Chains A and B, each alone.
Chain A
Amino acid sequence: MMTQPILALQDVSFTYPDGSRGLTHCTLEVARGSRTAILGDNGAGKTTLCLHLNGILRPQSGQVLWNGSPLDYSRRGLKQLRSRVGLVFQNPDAQLLSASVREDVSFGPMNLGWDHGIIRERVEKSLAAVGLSELAEKPVHNLSFGQKKRVCLAGVLAMQPEVIILDEPFSSLDVGMRRDLHSILESLSAAGITVLICSHDLDFAYEWADRWHIIEAGQLAASYGMAEVPQVFTHLTALGLGIPKVAELYQELVNAEVLPPFTASPRSHADLLLLIRQLRNAVHRNTGRSR
């Protein structure tokens, strides 16, 4: 039996007051503990989707479900939802409210009315989780872009949500910061947190996610588990997404009979390199033995 999705959209439609399209009859499910990538072009409706999952936008038709029950849009219901579903926006400068790192991280927990001792402890733990403990005394405006992004993430972590949604978390991050964020995401998943990432970075989504939801024109255009992705290259191209580079390269190497087909396709550049090196070492050993 399938377990109940932690979050689901059922036939949700939303149009912004200025007439621009948000979502059109969008239906999708997010499994508990999953790593879900929401893919799609700019303007496809990814951000509108995130804002629905956190209860900031309310569907004009259809409904959003939390553990199978429709969202409660009362003040209390929303507070409860937002304590469980954390949302990290794309631009850190548009979401950091206080000029003090520690104060800003405490903002969410303070809104939940927790005991100050517990909040203090949570704030320190969250800052440590994103590697910012040493910068906690610095003013926000003296931090780099990547550090500000981490403050935003710490602010959501401090609320101990069950689901964390990140809107384009890798935009404008340098290589080192991408690596750091990637390992933070791994530790979130290891802690059992359901993570949703909106992105148009196909290579990252292929490496990290276990499910893709592809949004096009405000609708769910396709949904794939990672094992299915190598079989649907033409469909991905037709959707305008392209193909993950590693998957494409691996497919070519297999077609050219350079690599044998493995049961599990490599999902990252590092995985593919490892396969090639293992194969080369095996060949070396064999030729050594035959001499």
Chain B
Amino acid sequence: MHEQWAYSNRWRWIHPGAKGLLTLCALVSAFVSTNPWFLITAAVLLAVLTVWGAGIPLGQYLRVFLPPLGFLATGGVMIALSVQWPGGGQHFALRLDPSQLPQVAVLVGRSLACLAALLLLALTTPMTDLIFLLRRLKVPAEILDLMTVGYRSVFVFLEAVHDITTAQAARLGYATARTAMRSLGSLIAVLTVQVWQRSLALDQAALARANDGPLFFLENEYADSRRSFAVAAAAGLLLLVPAAVLRVIG
């Protein structure tokens, strides 16, 4: 699971703010630039940085990177084609519209650059660090509490779903389409009750540890964060400046 790499990559202990800054610069440069070559180069650079820099295995990276390309390809093709509806002596026709190709190239390039930028952050930073970053950025505590408990609960309920479906399958609960529907229904019913019970239990557990307000945790310490920010800012400028220059001259 790619989530695991967020905890064990080489950039794990780089300040999440620095990684966030680089991602932000990359995203802004992708929106500023209208040059497909620049956008594709930026995407490749960001991907190389994530794979070689942070040490995310290439196979793992592609497994996350490739699925969105399906949507992108569909979108690109839809824009590149023009449709001729029947009428006025014309038949129905579907043909490639060359005038749309530059627009498709920018769309594809921009999407790839944005995807690579977001993956750089998502694959190298655990959710708990992202929540820490958002807390620093003064996101309201209620949203952060929901994110904290929500993220933790995802795994608790995934485990519950796995246990329940295994128990159901062991009693032929998914043997036919009909029983599968019934099993799925009872799975949802059981989980609904569990969500309710567990939310009460979590509330009691928080109270037992003297909590009476927002959830606060000790923040991680990051070594040499000033240097990380400087490097991230420099790398960000390397993307922003060419993007801006190309936009002005091109």
Contact bitstring B155-195, A, C-beta under 8 A = 1, else 0:
11001000000000000000000000000000000000000
Contact pick for B215, options A93, A99, A107, CB 8 Å: A107
CB atoms of A56 and B210 under 8 A apart: no
- Docked complex: B112-166 residues within 8 A CB-CB of A: 126-128, 148-149, 151-152, 155-156, 159
Q: Does B207 contact A (CB under 8 A)?
A: yes
Q: Please give, as numbers and ranges, the residues of chain B lying within 8 Å of A142 by CB-CB distance.
A: 4, 7
Q: Does B208 contact A (CB under 8 A)?
A: yes
Q: Does B93 contact A (CB under 8 A)?
A: no
State the main secondary structure of chain A at its contact with B.
helix
Asked, given contacts A137-B7, A141-B155, whether A103 binds B218 with beta carbons under 8 Å apart, the answer is: yes
Q: Please give, as numbers and ranges, the residues of chain B lying within 8 Å of A79 by CB-CB distance.
A: 210, 212
Q: Does A278 contact B (CB under 8 A)?
A: no
Q: Please give, as numbers and ranges, the residues of chain B lying within 8 Å of A188 by CB-CB distance.
A: none
CB atoms of B210 and A108 under 8 A apart: yes
Asked, given contacts A93-B156, A107-B216, whether A98 binds B148 with beta carbons under 8 Å apart, the answer is: yes
CB atoms of A56 and B207 under 8 A apart: yes
Which candidate, B83-91, B197-205, B234-242, is the interface stretch facing chain A? B197-205
Closest B-chain residue to A88, C-beta based?
B208
Q: Does A14 contact B (CB under 8 A)?
A: no
CB atoms of B152 and A140 under 8 A apart: yes
- Docked complex: B202-235 residues within 8 A CB-CB of A: 202, 204-212, 215-221
Q: Please give, as numbers and ranges, the residues of chain A lying within 8 Å of B211 by CB-CB distance.
A: 107, 111
Contact pick for A159, options B12, B155, B159, B209, CB 8 Å: B209
Q: How far is the CB of A124 from chain B (nearest CB, A)?
A: 11
Contact bitstring A75-109, B, C-beta under 8 A = 1, else 0:
10011001100110101011111111011101111
Number of interface residues of A (CB under 8 A): 43
A119 to B4, CA, bound (A): 27
CB atoms of A89 and B156 under 8 A apart: no
Q: How far is the CB of B104 from chain A (nearest CB, A)?
A: 40
CB atoms of A98 and B205 under 8 A apart: no
CB atoms of B198 and A94 under 8 A apart: yes
Q: Does A179 contact B (CB under 8 A)?
A: no
CB atoms of A99 and B218 under 8 A apart: no
CB atoms of A100 and B126 under 8 A apart: yes
CB atoms of B208 and A104 under 8 A apart: no
Q: How far is the CB of B11 from chain A (nearest CB, A)?
A: 14
A112 to B211, CA, bound (A): 8
Contact pick for A75, options B12, B126, B212, B217, CB 8 Å: B212
Asked, given contacts A99-B155, A100-B128, A142-B4, whether A87 binds B217 with beta carbons under 8 Å apart, the answer is: no
Q: How far is the CB of A133 from chain B (nearest CB, A)?
A: 15
CB atoms of A89 and B201 under 8 A apart: yes
Q: Please give, as numbers and ranges, the residues of chain A lying within 8 Å of B212 by CB-CB distance.
A: 75, 78-79, 111
CB atoms of A110 and B149 under 8 A apart: no
Q: Please give, as numbers and ranges, the residues of chain A lying within 8 Å of B202 by CB-CB distance.
A: 94-95, 97
CB atoms of A97 and B152 under 8 A apart: yes
4 more A-B residue pairs beyond the given contacts A94-B202, A111-B211, with a C-beta to C-beta distance below 8 A: A86-B209, A95-B205, A98-B215, A106-B217
A contact set with B: CB distance below 8 Å: 51, 54, 56, 75, 78-79, 82-83, 86-87, 89, 91, 93-100, 102-104, 106-112, 116, 119-120, 123, 137-142, 155-156, 159
Question: Please, could you name 12 A-B residue pairs with CB atoms under 8 Å apart, sorted by A?
Answer: A54-B208, A75-B212, A78-B210, A86-B209, A97-B149, A99-B126, A107-B209, A108-B209, A110-B216, A123-B218, A155-B209, A159-B210
